[in-house]
């Protein structure tokens, strides 16, 4: 397993993790249980020849349930870039709403989870059911400097579990998770602002109105170089 001891606790940028993935899988090496801590608040756009910025935006918008044009799909969507295994759109808006509701009502809940595969007993011949991204766990933390403050700033962190990851596809996956974290944080700010304006709603409880995205703990069971 490619897990240098001096880097286990390091918080890296998305680009640094992508570069490390490429080094680790150079020559066709297969890596098991690859994990890293990623600073999502330092940016999550990793542009490559396979994934220019426009392709990243198109895929993430689609997987977040947002409309994209037919021209965007024709230009940027392909089997090489992930195909049906990288299609996470089904039910995603309801899943996001569920996480937002959970964290808005119970800021320190351990149950704010998005499960991507919608078929728990998928046939192994179906690529559409063999999603690479399996689960994303979301949790709110309070910076130590604000721990005793009545007006708390929350940090939205997450853990992502990947069944498999090709290093060349990582830019698309981490961009989607980053956009997902931003979307949830924004919805929490809106709900928190509404709750904070209602004197009865807060009732002395923590109101989640100041939220920033923070860190992603990334785990891939199997890491390879390329999808093909």
CB 63, CB 174: distance < 8 Å:
no
CB 167, CB 25: distance < 8 Å:
yes
Task: Name residue, tokens 């100041």.
Answer: 210
At residue 169, the pLDDT reads 97
CA-wise closest residue to 103 among 139, 79, 129, 75: 139
Could you give the dihedral angle defined by the CA atoms of residues 42, 47, 53 and 57, in that order, rounded to the nearest 10 degrees? -60
pTM of the model: 0.88
At residue 126, the pLDDT reads 73
At residue 204, the pLDDT reads 42
CA-wise closest residue to 44 among 213, 168, 188: 213
At residue 94, the pLDDT reads 98
Residues of the chain with pLDDT under 50: 1-3, 6-7, 199-204
Q: Is 74 exposed, middle or buried (0-12, 13-18, 19+ CB in 10 A)?
A: exposed
Distance CA 110, CA 219 (A): 18
Residue 190: left (phi > 0), alpha (psi -120 to 50), or beta? alpha
* Domain boundary assignment for the chain: 47-218
């Amino acid at each position: 397993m490619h897990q240098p001891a001096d880097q286990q606790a390091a918080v890296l940028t998305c680009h640094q993790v992508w570069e490390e993935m490429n080094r680790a899988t150079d020559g066709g090496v297969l890596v098991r249980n690859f994990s890293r801590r990623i600073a999502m608040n330092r940016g999550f756009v990793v542009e490559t020849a396979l994934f220019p910025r426009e392709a990243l935006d198109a895929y993430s918008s689609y997987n977040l349930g947002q409309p994209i044009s037919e021209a965007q799909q024709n230009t940027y969507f392909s089997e090489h870039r992930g195909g049906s295994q990288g299609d996470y759109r089904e039910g995603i808006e309801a899943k996001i709403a569920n996480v937002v509701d959970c964290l808005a009502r119970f800021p320190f809940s351990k149950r704010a989870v998005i499960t991507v595969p919608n078929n728990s007993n998928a046939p192994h011949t179906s690529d559409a059911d063999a999603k690479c991204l399996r689960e994303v766990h979301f949790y709110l933390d309070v910076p130590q400097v604000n721990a005793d403050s009545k007006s708390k700033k929350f940090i939205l962190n997450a853990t992502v579990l990947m069944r498999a990851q090709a290093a060349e596809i990582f830019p698309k996956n981490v961009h989607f998770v980053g956009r997902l974290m931003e979307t949830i944080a924004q919805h929490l700010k809106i709900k928190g602002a509404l709750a904070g304006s209602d004197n009865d709603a807060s009732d002395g409880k923590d109101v989640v109105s100041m939220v920033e995205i923070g860190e992603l703990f990334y785990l891939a069971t199997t890491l390879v170089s390329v999808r093909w």
